[in-house]
Structure 1
Amino acid sequence: MKQKNDGPTLAGEGDTDYARYMRTEVLLDLQRRPEEVVHRDELLFQVAHQSTELWLKLAAAELTEAVARIDAGEPAPAELLLGRAILAVRLVTDQLEMLARLTPADFQALQPALGNGSGAESPGWRQTQAASRRLARAFVRYLAALEIDLVTLYSREPSDPVHRLAEAMVEWDDRVSLWRVHHYKLAVRVGSHGVIGTPGSPSGMLAKLIDHRFFPELWQARASHARGGPTGEACLA
């Protein structure tokens, strides 16, 4: 039996297997060094954004696996994977509260360190967007294979696996939208950007994206079903 005082068994850098597996020496060296820092809040800013990239990496991976499960005709596992992606974006949204601790003066002071960087350049978000679009196309293929359109989809029991998957997709859309709302509010509060409609305001672009949906036809179908009206064809891609 392995003793508690045994040394590390994994290859890599670090004094313990935990450090080697988690690559903590590399991870904790990814922030700017003290001699590089322009403003003390750069650490807060980098930690918040770097951890966001990690959560988005996970979200994109879960969405990608969900696409594979849908293509394999397995809606229930795909729904569970979407639940993970949804929670990842929820955590990303919650940690915006850390950035809200910055004052506009603090943010202006650290901006020179950012160069021309913008959150719109986030590789994690771009991967997540691409995975969401693939998810939409996979769902369309799946409905076509089952000969189900959106009219009959929302006529099914809520416990039906296909219905549950559709609702998970709607929840994913909603969670991303809430993230955008919080991001917009943060830009106004900390970035001192103008309100909606202010010419040249970066917050204006964020505001325009709040109502974007990856699966608009699903939203239309569920609303139309509630009203008892027609929903039309399934076309989510």
Structure 2
Amino acid sequence: MNPSEQNPRLRYVYDRDTGYEAELRLTAALSALVPTDDLVHPDHRLFQIAHLVTEYSWVAIHHTLCDIATDLERDDTVPALRLIRRAKQLAAWPVNSIRLLIDSLPQASFLQMRAGFPEGSSGLDSPGARAVRKAAHVVWEVFEKTLVDHNLSFPELMPATRPGYSGDPGAALLSEVAMELHRFDSVMVEWKQVHLNMVWQLLGGHPGVSEDTAAPSDRPTSMRGRPLADLERLAVRPLFPRLWQESTAMYRSFGGDTDLAYRYRHDTSKEIQ
């Protein structure tokens, strides 16, 4: 890692042929890091590790989604539910990696590093994010088939999420699957939006700033030369659109299209703003 370090107590030593390192393939994993002598900036290692942690997270989430699809195909709802909760927790890692960069990476440091990146480098080329998106679509297709096999539709399923539901236990369990998929998707959307916030912070171009709004052609672009509008569109694109549509449907079922929105109705029918 830093073999030229003169102080042996500051030298990072690995590849010691231990069982621990062999089992984890730790030597290969650490060898992917840029050596200290080759770092182009003091924050270079932080930037690389944050992205590698994110990519490892995508691998773990993808693997979990594959297992979820298998369990749902077998109608093993309980193990599938446990795995969805695991995927939700795994999805917090990329969010935390972005927050770490937001909290500790100065804009000047990022811009200095970015100037040395290979042309065309872009997070949109992440193999992990692409794999997660495709696997999530498979999970959704299997889940929809599971509902059909149980003679359930979404309008019938979502009421089972209400407190006090005493209907079909199978419907209640599948409604829990739907809610956990939605919560997992919420964390994935959170990652996209936190990432977008980091881009606005480190590159500029926030759409709420008047000078950027007045001259959109002058807004920063990605390493591909694409406008920030591309990233802004992706930031609100969920993995499971139908679940978000059902949120709207549930809202409307509670009077969301009337003046009940954002109000509390007392038994006396008096409304308080």
What is the TM-score when the length of structure 2 is the normalising length? 0.73
- Match for 2:230: what amino acid? M
Select 1:17's aligned residue among 5, 16, 19. Answer: 19
Q: Does residue 111 of structure 2 align to residue 108 of structure 1? A: yes
Matches of 1:49 and 1:143 in 2, distance apart? 37
2:129 to 125, 128, 131: 125
Give the AA of the match of 1:204: A
What are the equivalent positions in structure 2 for 1:55-74 lying under 5 Å apart? Answer: 55-74=57-76
The equivalent position to 2:242 in structure 1, one of 197, 206, 217, is 217
Other-structure match for 1:3: none
Greater shift in the superposed pair: 123-132 or 36-45 = 36-45
Deviations, residues 194-230 of structure 1 (Å, cap 9, x unaligned): 113633544432221222122222222243234338x
| Identity fraction in percent | 22
Q: Give, in whole Å, the separation in 2 of the partners of 1:82 and 1:113.
A: 39
From 47, 54, 60, the equivalent of 1:45 is: 47
* Amino acid paired to 1:186: M
In structure 2, C-alpha distance between the alignment counterparts of 1:175 and 1:120, rounded to whole Å: 18
Aligned length: 216
* Partners of 1:109 and 1:85 in 2: CA distance: 35
Q: How far did 1:157 drift?
A: 4.9
Per the alignment, residue 101 of structure 2 pairs with 99
Query: What one-letter code is carried by the residue in structure 2 that aligns with 1:138?
Result: V
Map Cα deviations across residues 94-117 of structure 1 (whole Å, 9 max, x no partner).
121221222221111111442121
Measure, in 1, the Cα distance between the counterparts of 2:246 and 2:144.
14
Could you tell me how far 1:57 is from its partner in structure 2? Answer: 0.3
Match of 1:88 in 2: 90
1:15 and 1:215 map into 2 onto residues whose CA distance is 45
Structure number, greater radius of gyration: 2
Per-residue Cα deviation, 1:160-215 (whole angstroms, up to 9, x for no partner): 2100000011112111111111101111112x231136335444322212221222
How high is the TM-score relative to the length of structure 1?
0.84
Please state whether the residue corresponding to 1:73 is helix, strand or coil: coil
Does the CA-based 8 Å contact 1:151-1:225 persist in structure 2?
A: no
**Cα-to-partner distance string for 1:2-51 (whole Å, 9 max, x where unaligned):** xxxxxxxxxxx633211111222221111112343222211111100011
After superposition, the Cα gap between the structure-2 partners of 1:183 and 1:157, relative to the gap in structure 1 and judged at 3 Å, is closer
The residue aligned with 2:195 is 183
RMSD, aligned α-carbons: 1.9
Q: CA deviation at 1:154?
A: 1.0
2: CA distance, partners of 1:157 / 1:112: 50
Residue 142 of structure 1 corresponds to which residue in structure 2? 146
What secondary structure, in the 3-state scheme, does the structure 2 residue paired with 1:154 have?
Answer: helix
Mapped partners of 1:213, 1:24: distance in 2: 34
Question: Structure 1: how far apart are the matches of 2:242 and 2:230?
Answer: 23
Distance (whole Å) between structure 1 residues aligned to residue 24 and residue 86 of structure 2:
21
Q: Which amino acid aligns with 1:209?
A: L
Conserved? CA contact 1:79–1:165, under 8 Å: yes
